[in-house]
Amino acid sequence: MTMKNRFKSFVPYGVILVVLLFLPPVIPRFYTYILTSIFVTALLAMSLNVVVGHGGLFQFHHAAFYGVGAYTFALILTKTSLPIWVGFVAGPVAAAMAGLLVGWFCVRLTRLYFGMLQISLGSLIWAIAFRWYSLTGGDDGIHGVPVPDFVSSSTSAYYFILILLTICLVVMYLILRSPFGMTLQAIRDNPERCEAVGINVRRHQLLGIVIATFFAGVAGVLFVVLERSVFPDLLFWVLSLEIFIMCLLGGWFTFAGPILGAAITVSLRTFVGIYTEYWTLILGVMLILLIFFLPEGVMGFITEKFGARPERVYQER
Amino acid sequence: MGLSRAMILFIVTSGLSFVLGVLRVPNVAHGSLYMIGAFSAFSISKLFGGGPIGFWLALILSPFIVALVSLVSERLLFCHLYQREHLMLLLFTFALMLILGDLVKLTWGAEYRSIMAPDFFRGSVSIFGLSLPRYNLFLLILGPLVAIGLWLFTNKTKIGKIARAAAVDMEMVGAVGINVSWVFAFAFVLGCFLAGLGGALVAPTVSITLGMDHDIIIEAFLIVTIGGLGNMWGAMVGSLIFGLTQSFGVLFWPQFAIVFPYTAVVIVLLWRPRGMLKSVW
Amino acid sequence: MLRIEKIHKSFGNFVAVNGASLTVGKGELVAVIGPNGAGKTTLFNLITGQLKPDRGKVLFNDEDMTKLPTYHICRKGIARSFQIANIFHRLTVFRNVQVSVLSEQGKSNKLFSPAHNIAVEETNRILESVGLLENAENIAGSLSYGDQRILEIAIALGNEPELLILDEPTAGMSPEETAATMALIKTLAETRGLTILFCEHDMDVVFNTAQSIMVMHYGRTIVQAKPEEVKANSQVQEAYLGGENA
């Protein structure tokens, strides 16, 4: 792919970024909030897709790591007097460590059993958080987390999260088109062959999991920055399945598909939720339509229709 | 008592296990059908004044209502997907769970409901010096009966044997001239029937709420996994482990009672990732 | 170079490999033949670590490989192609080979440099030597079956192996493709100084190419010797009665 082509494929992203940068002053606060929420969810969905879409792993309880990141950040800010930047670092690191631990047990198993063990470990984490009132606030969670001033207004939170999202996405992109990322995709397609060419598949997958859970932890921290609270739902398996669906909806073999999936899901949930309390019904119906008519996801559908493949990270043209 | 809770879990998870075994699909909506069973039981018993007749009618009719719901979903939508990858089927059942959950909200509203077991079941019975609530005793008898019934069914009846064969080799069954699609439909409906039965049975013992589907499905999944996928006796073993560790937890550390069964599941899975008994896969 | 000593492997009650032995000298072209079910693929799987033997040893350059995991064995210098085209169907031909070159160079874990700039020369060289350079940007799944088998070999070459194990390299190929592939293999062996171990059903191929032939039957080694001796061996003739295309 020539330099010019590569540059051209980034132009749409650049345009969107510029537009996003100029939005907050001109749109109502509510929309700023929604967009920020989309940013956080998009990061979470992208982090899952690193191991699911690109790695082929059955990461069934990704939300657990998201929650670990969020809770760590909230706990450090509310229960300790450590400086805030420690919280910012500790959240993702804690999530990555949890990912390492859970992943280490899970990569020894194949596919479905990988997923089931992860669900059980993640549910254990949820159960502990759900009941440990003194530490985590139990089913109430923790509210009123004192976020620092520079992110306390909705506009500043918007910019902060947008910038961090962009940085994370750039890093993810670099990782996915590096030899590591390419090998990860090769493992997804044919792990046996990879073993036969000298790749330590398990270690590679584990590294992928650590990266993915690190970003999930970042998303968790950003969630707290936006919402100033945490609750056990962040660790609940339903959220894990929802993120999975976002990846599917957007198209999980593409790079940016999950972002689209997250955007669609969050927007629909908000706007449909205004008219009816039966948002989950609509989501269910949408999902069924998706399964029947668009199995490659929206992004996959678009790229097939229009032939443009700027996002397919591993197919260099 | 943990054992009676285990029996309910068993009835529900045996249905899930059965579907898993034949269709190779984990039915995430299984919990929703359980919930519908409970809510239907509530409505039916209320319809008949809340007395004993209402209760027994509810117990008998609810599973059939649930079976009907599942049959409709299956014939209308599910059966078109059998050719697709398993992940799609899983996601379909998840979508079904979302839809059914909201349909329940639509039909019954969001308040807590409850029904009472008939007088016959009030009070306790003394067995071996332990005081056991009568309803729990009823469950303790019913659980194994269902197990035996299911076992007889899959091993002794023609349909049951076909279902078992289908679990092992779907193509062969089709090649022998049996309508595979109807086998699937049947298995799915039977599994859901059991879910509805479980829901109806549990109705007098808990408050009937909207979150029931989420709570039960994760437990059912974990039980099926530790027992061995598709294995009915595995579902029994798993349910016993789950129910007993939970009541153990209630006894010794009530605040963290639910942590006990989850920890037990983790331990079992680390020791035997494929489940304790043979799995169909 | 490679020595297998009395190796055993059973699956439940079925004994797949029953005390087979094999010797491969450096630079040799050795073939393993035997009727279907004789245990040839199992033997190869035991060498490359996909299976672990119940008894016996695999020695490579006098090092005991028996307990090592597959990727480790590969790093020691043994590369392999599979009986059924086992390639990365969704990746381009170039990427297919690049994956193994990167692994060989130890660069699979590099996180931040763009992959398309790394190991390009080596990958192209390999593609050229097997004649697939023009197809470099095609998706591997779109190649003809014969080309896919050649891609298999190219992927194995990416590991710069000392010993190349080929499981039925000409299976499913037309006579012209077969001849071309075997010529290619011979050329590669000479230019790269490879030692080659392969198994085949096509007897013409075997007797024209191999310098040493090991005959397997029911998981046992009947004999390993030069082609003329093998042809004359009575046990071998018995084993092939009613069996193969001779």
**Secondary structure of B142-163 in the HEC alphabet?**
HHHHHHHHHHHHHHHCHHHHHH
Rounded Cα gap, residues B195 and B180, in angstroms:
23
Q: Which residue of C has its CA nearest to A312?
A: C91
Rounded Cα gap, residues B121 and B207, in angstroms:
17
Mean of pLDDT over chain B: 80
A117 touches chain B (CB under 8 A): yes
Nearest to C157, CA basis, from C90, C89, C77: C77
Tens-place pLDDT, residues A186-236: 888 888 888 888 888 888 899 999 999 999 999 999 999 888 888 888 888
**Beta carbons within 8 Å of C38's beta carbon, 6+ residues apart:** C216, C217, C218, C219
Rounded Cα gap, residues A175 and C115, in angstroms:
10
Which amino acid belongs to residue C5? E
Average pLDDT over residues B107-114: 79
Domain segments of chain B as ranges: 2-120+130-271
Tens-place pLDDT, residues A238-274: 899 889 888 888 887 788 888 988 998 898 888 887 8
SS3 (DSSP) at B1: coil
Q: What is the ipTM of this complex?
A: 0.81
> What are the structure tokens assigned to C51, written together?
């299976």
> What are the structure tokens assigned to B28, written together?
């995430």
Say if residue A44's pLDDT is above 90.
yes
Rounded Cα gap, residues B84 and C206, in angstroms:
43
Highest mean pLDDT among A157-171, B46-60, C24-38: A157-171
Q: Are strands C55-60 and C220-225 parallel, antiparallel or unpaired?
A: unpaired
Rounded Cα gap, residues C238 and C55, in angstroms:
28
**In which residue are the tokens 């299956």 written?**
B74
**Beta carbons within 8 Å of A155's beta carbon, 6+ residues apart:** A24, A25, A32
- Which contacts qualify for C170-174: CB closer than 8 Å, 24 or more apart? C170/C200, C170/C202, C170/C205, C171/C83, C171/C201, C172/C145, C172/C146, C173/C145, C173/C146, C173/C149, C174/C146
**In which residue are the tokens 């631990």 written?**
A101
pTM of this structure? 0.85
A271 touches chain B (CB under 8 A): no
Choice among A204-218, B91-105, C229-243 with the minimum mean pLDDT: C229-243
Cβ neighbours of B262 in A, within 8 Å: 120, 123-124, 127
Asked whether at least 3 C-beta pairs link A and C within 8 Å, the reply is yes
**Terminal Cα distance for chain B, rounded:** 33
Q: What count of other Cβ atoms lies within 10 Å of the Cβ of residue A294?
A: 15
**Residue-wise DSSP of C26-62:** TT-EEEEE-STTSSHHHHHHHHHTSS--SEEEEEETT
- Alpha helices, DSSP H only, in B211-273? 212-227, 232-252, 259-271
Whether residues C107 and A179 touch (CB distance < 8 A) is answered with yes
SS3 (DSSP) at A230: strand
Give chain C's domains with CATH numbers. 1-77+161-246 (3.40.50.300), 88-160 (no CATH)
- Residue B280: pLDDT band by 50, 70, 90 thresholds? low
C-alpha torsion angle, residues B227, B233, B237, B243 (rounded to 10):
100
Q: Which residue has the higher pLDDT, A213 or C92?
A: A213
> What are the structure tokens assigned to B99, written together?
């839809």
> What are the structure tokens assigned to B143, written together?
């659980």
Buried b (16+ CB within 10 A) or exposed e, C164-178: bbbbbbbbebeeebb
Domain segments of chain A as ranges: 18-236
Tens-place pLDDT, residues B145-195: 888 888 787 777 777 777 777 666 666 766 776 677 777 788 888 888 888
pLDDT of residue A98: 92
Q: How many residues does chain C have?
A: 246
With residue C100 as reference, give the H or E element that holds it.
helix C93-104
Whether residues C74 and A196 touch (CB distance < 8 A) is answered with yes
Q: Are strands C29-33 and B130-133 parallel, antiparallel or unpaired?
A: unpaired
C-alpha torsion angle, residues A207, A213, A217, A223 (rounded to 10):
150
Tens-place pLDDT, residues B256-269: 888 888 888 888 88
Cβ neighbours of C112 in A, within 8 Å: 174-175, 178
Facing residues of C33 across strands? C215
Note which residues in 236-265 of chain B have CB less than 8 A from chain A.
255-256, 258-259, 262-263, 265
- Residue A312: pLDDT band by 50, 70, 90 thresholds? very low
Say if residue A317's pLDDT is above 60.
no
B77 touches chain A (CB under 8 A): yes
Whether residues A175 and C48 touch (CB distance < 8 A) is answered with no
pLDDT of residue C244: 46
Facing residues of C9 across strands? C17
> What are the structure tokens assigned to A291, written together?
């399964």
Closest in A105, A120, A283 to B98, CB measured: A283
Highest mean pLDDT among A4-8, A87-91, C217-221: A87-91
Residue C74 is classified by DSSP as H
CB of B204 closer than 8 Å to CB of B117: yes
SS3 (DSSP) at B229: coil
Nearest to B235, CA basis, from B266, B205, B189, B194: B194
Nearest to A131, CA basis, from B241, B254, B211: B254
Whether residues C103 and A189 touch (CB distance < 8 A) is answered with no
Which amino acid belongs to residue A146? P
Q: How many residues does chain B have?
A: 281
Say if residue A163's pLDDT is above 80.
yes
Residue C227, min C-alpha distance to chain A (Å): 30
Strands (E), chain C: 2-11, 14-24, 29-33, 55-60, 63-64, 78-81, 163-167, 195-199, 212-217, 220-225
Which amino acid belongs to residue A22? F
Phi/psi at C13 (5° precision)? -90, -10
Neighbours of A, requiring at least 3 CB pairs below 8 Å, are B, C
Mean of pLDDT over chain C: 81
Q: Provide the total of helices (H) and of strands (E) in chain B, helices listed first.
A: 11, 2
**CATH second-level architecture of B2-120+130-271?**
Orthogonal Bundle (1.10)
CB of B200 closer than 8 Å to CB of B37: yes
Rounded Cα gap, residues A158 and A163, in angstroms:
9
pLDDT above 70 covers a percentage of chain A that reads 90
Choice among A43-52, A67-76, A134-143, B216-225 with the minimum mean pLDDT: A134-143
Whether residues A288 and B95 touch (CB distance < 8 A) is answered with yes
> What are the structure tokens assigned to C137, written together?
């940007």
Say if residue A293's pLDDT is above 90.
no
Say if residue C214's pLDDT is above 90.
no
Rounded Cα gap, residues B234 and B17, in angstroms:
9
**In which residue are the tokens 């039960």 written?**
B216
Q: Kindly report the CA angle at A5 between A170 and A48, in degrees rounded to 5? A: 30
pLDDT of residue A295: 67
Asked whether at least 3 C-beta pairs link C and B within 8 Å, the reply is no
Q: Are strands C163-167 and C195-199 parallel, antiparallel or unpaired?
A: parallel
Whether residues A287 and B94 touch (CB distance < 8 A) is answered with yes
Rounded Cα gap, residues C172 and B101, in angstroms:
54
> What are the structure tokens assigned to A68, written together?
């670990």
- Alpha helices, DSSP H only, in chain A? 3-22, 29-51, 63-79, 84-106, 111-131, 133-136, 154-176, 179-189, 191-196, 201-227, 237-250, 257-275, 279-293, 297-306
Facing residues of C111 across strands? none
- Residue C246: pLDDT band by 50, 70, 90 thresholds? very low
Cβ neighbours of A192 in C, within 8 Å: 50, 86
pLDDT of residue A66: 93
Rounded Cα gap, residues B72 and A253, in angstroms:
34
Question: Is A167 exposed, middle or buried, given 0-12, 13-18 or 19+ CB atoms closer than 10 A?
Answer: exposed
pLDDT of residue A209: 92
Mean of pLDDT over chain A: 83
Tens-place pLDDT, residues C191-209: 888 888 888 887 778 888 8
Rounded Cα gap, residues B38 and A115, in angstroms:
29
Rounded Cα gap, residues A37 and A162, in angstroms:
10
